[in-house]
Every structure is written in structure tokens, then in C-alpha cells.
Homo-oligomer: A and B are copies of this chain.
Amino acid sequence: MRMSAVQARLERYLELMKKMKSYEEALGVLYWDMRTGAPRKGLETRAEVVGVLSTELFKLGTSSEMGELLAALSEREAFESLSRVHQRSVTENKKEYDRSKKIPPELYQKYVVLASQAETAWEECKPKSDFETFRPYLEQVVSYQKQFIELWGYEDNKYDTLLDSYEPGMTVKKLDAVFGALREKLVPLVAAIAEKPPLDTSFMRRKVPTERQRAFSEYILKEIGYDFAAGRLDPTTHPFATGLNPGDVRVTTRYIEDDFKNALFSTIHEGGHALYEQNISPELIGTNLCTGTSMGIHESQSRLWENMIGRSRPFWERYYGELQRMTPELGDVALDDFYRAVNEVKASLIRTEADELTYNLHIMVRYELEKLLMNDELQVADLPEAWNAKYKEYLGIEPPNHELGVLQDVHWSGGGFGYFPSYSLGNMYAAQMMAAMREALPSFDADVAAGRFEPIKAWLTDKIYKHGRLLTPSEVIRNVAGAELDPTFLTDYLEKKYKEIYKL
């Protein structure tokens, strides 16, 4: 192919991609709007608008023109003439294009309808703890996932291709190793803590008016370096952050009067996601690389800011006085009691309410079960029993019903198999990144204790944020730590922190 032809194709490709990004951004605004205050009566029509734009976006991404451009630009000579950004953009897009094209449109259409029905069924069955009515839906969803696995293909383990769609390059082999190492350390640690007398954390239930919580959320976001000229904070039911473009990255949080720590930590959590998106290099705007590189790396940033910084002692040495000033309800609570309360460990049944330590065990339960399901080693009908057994084994407790057990998460009804491990990967990445950052910034603890987050944000931007999806997850962790993912950083961190808190 002549270079002028390559150039023409590249330009057309960039144009199409920019168009796709525009649709994505418009959809992002619509979703944000629907979740932060769009009036109830307009939602039915709004859903159709979302349908129309999503369909157009899907058509753009799977069009024969896109296919031809990606094929032409992937040819060796053409590919080698591209810039690094364009090479990676083509590689990523081609991977997604090929994946989409392997599923026959009719099959996918049927699956979308089923997934939507299954989600509705889940919503109805969960409060009734009724697994049996939900079972046939889940069986079908699992059966579709298995068909997709065959169409996408796999090398080693059937579950690998699902993992790869959320965490490129992740495999059962790698995960078994890291989760095994994690489990070995964490299960005994959780058991040892369970032996200790429980903390008195009743002051965490004192009522704090929404307006005070909102003011502190805003204050703390500014402190950690979130840029309000490139974002905004709004209340919602299920907190999320959304990067529409690096100049518009929005954070949402939830204010519960008698549980102020909910907003406090979900704000910092979503703020971590937002710091990532706000600091992606402007040169990636308008490309498919202008986003976090994987769910796991994204989660590493929310966890790093929420738990490793936001629940650390130096952080509260700096901010507890300010929190007390803005939240007089805590006036009589000592810093040390507050610090221990926000780090309370308690084996519990619900993943989303779990603490930093036991959270990983909730994830491992799901990982083990998904792996078994996808490899035909477990039937959907036997899932509840297997779920309860795993909870007993890992956390030492058993759900009294399915609402608090196997039916608690929305993920499976929508077909999100392979997603759960991202949460624990995030914790592991974060611990490893923290260790590297502490080495690079010897004054790290003093900086946090002084509210000096600039050097921290600058280091994270340089190592992670600015690259967006230009680096793969494993390139990111190598760029940060000079090594592959290593779970011992997380276990070391957790053991040190919680042995100190629980005086083990």
C-alpha cells in the first residue's frame, strides 16, 4: 500500500473513531443525567434515545468500513509507519472489532433481550430470596456465555477469554496463583481478628445532616487534587465516576444521614477514579485510548485513594480536625477511635459493605464459582449450596437466605462474568504501586500528614494516569513497579496495618 493511501486511511480511521467517541460522550452525559436527577416521567422516552445512540455507536464500530480500515492499517508495512498512539489505537480497536464480529448478530440480539429479562427477574427474585424462579434465566445466561467462549476461542482455560475482556492479558493460571497467595494469608488473619473483642464504633451512626456531609465531600475532593473546573459532584443512589472527556470527569456520591462514612469514603473512592481520568494526556483525546486501561487498574486508583491513603493514619492526622470542625457531631470522638472505626474488620455477608480486608475474600468466592461454572464443573442448580460452602470456608459465616447470599449481586444476571476479579486486582495493583511510590517519594507519609498531594498526584500521573490505554495493564504495573503483579505487597500491607490496629 502506498504511503499516501495509508495516510488517507489513517485520516478516515481517526475521523470514524472521533465520531464514535462523540457518541460515547453523548451517551455518558445521558447516563449521568439519568442517575443524578433526570425527572422520572421522562425516563421511558430517554431510554429510547439511549437505544438509538447505542445502536448507531455499535454500527459504527462494526461497520465493514471500519473492518477494512483496521485490516489495511494492521498490515505490517502500514502498521510500522504509524505513530505509537495510532498503532496502539488500531490494535485495541481491531481486537474489539474481531471479538464483536465473532458473535452472529442474531445470537447477540437474542442474548441482549435475555440479559435484560434476567435482570428484571433478578430484581424481583432477590428481595424474595427466590433462587428457583431466577435459576432458568441464569442457566440461559451461563449457556450464552459458554457459546460466546467457544466463538471467541481460548487457549488454556475457558474462563480466560472472559477475564481478558475486563483485564487484558489476565488468565486463570495467573489469578489462581495470586488469589492462592492472598487466601493463604488473609483467611487466618480474618480469623485471628474475629477472636478479638469487637470495637465500639457506635459513634459512626450519629446523624450528620446531608449539607455537612456534602461540604466535607467537596472539601476533601479539592484537597486530594480533584479539579472542579474539570468536573462536578452530585448526589445519586449508586455512586459512580464518569470520564466524559479529561476536561469533564464527574463524581457522584450518596448521603446517608446515620452513616456519614458512606459518603465520605465513596467520595474519595470515586475521586480516585476521577483523578485517573482527569489526568489522561490531552494527546489521547478523541481516540479509544482516552480512558483507563482496564477495570483492575481503574479500581487500583479508587482503592489506593480510598483505602491506602484515605483510611491511613497520616491522612486523618491531617484531616480529622477539619472533619470535626465541619461535623461537630464528632466533637467528642478521639482521633484514634475514629481511625480504628473506619478500619473496622468484620466478616459480613454483603460484598458492597465489606471492609478493606475481607473484601478480597468475597471476590475470591465469586471467582472460584465463575471458574467452575464456565468449565462445566458446577451447575447453576448447585450454585446456592456452593456459594454458602465457600462463605463458610473463607469468611467463617453462612448466609441465612439467598438475598444475603447468592442473589446479592446484579452482575451475573447481566452476564458480567469475569468482572469480579477486577476489584481484588485493583487492591493488589494498588498495594504494589504504593510500595513503589513510597520508595520514589521518601517523604510520602509526611506529605499525606501535611495534605501535600501534589507530588503524589504528579507521580501517579507520570507513571499511570497520563498513559490512558496507551499501556496495557501489565505494562502499567511494570512501568510503576518494574515487575509483574505480585500479591505479597497487598498481604504485607494488610498484615502490617491490621496487626497494628487489632494488636495481634
Residue numbers of A with Cβ under 8 A of B are 18-19, 22-23, 25-26, 29-30, 33, 37-46, 48-49, 51-53, 56, 227-232, 244-248, 250, 285-286
Contact = CB atoms under 8 A, between A and B. Distances in A.
Given A46-B248, A52-B23, A248-B45, A39 B285 contact: no
A245 B26 contact: no
Given A19-B52, A33-B33, A25 B45 contact: yes
Contacts of A245: 42, 45-46
20 contacts: A18-B48, A18-B52, A22-B48, A22-B49, A22-B51, A23-B52, A25-B49, A26-B26, A26-B53, A29-B29, A38-B248, A39-B228, A39-B229, A39-B247, A40-B247, A41-B230, A42-B248, A45-B247, A46-B248, A48-B286
B26 A49 contact: yes
Given A25-B49, A49-B25, A42 B227 contact: no
Contacts of A46: 25, 244-245, 248
A42 B230 contact: yes
* Residue among A18, A40, A42, A230 with max Cβ neighbours from chain B (10 Å): A42
Nearest to A27: B26
Q: How many copies does the complex hold?
A: 2
Main SS at interface, chain A: helix
Nearest to A250: B39
Contacts of A19: 52
Contacts of A227: 41
A449 to B, nearest CB: 30
Contacts of A285: 45
A36 B228 CA distance: 14
Closest 3 CB pairs of A and B: A42-B248, A41-B247, A42-B247
B39 A230 contact: yes
A22 B232 contact: no
Contact of A244 (B42, B230, B246): B42
A244 B41 CA distance: 11
Nearest to A20: B52
Contacts of A286: 45, 48
B232 A37 contact: yes
Nearest to A234: B37
A436 to B, nearest CB: 30
Contacts of A30: 26, 29
A41 B232 contact: no
A366 to B, nearest CB: 35
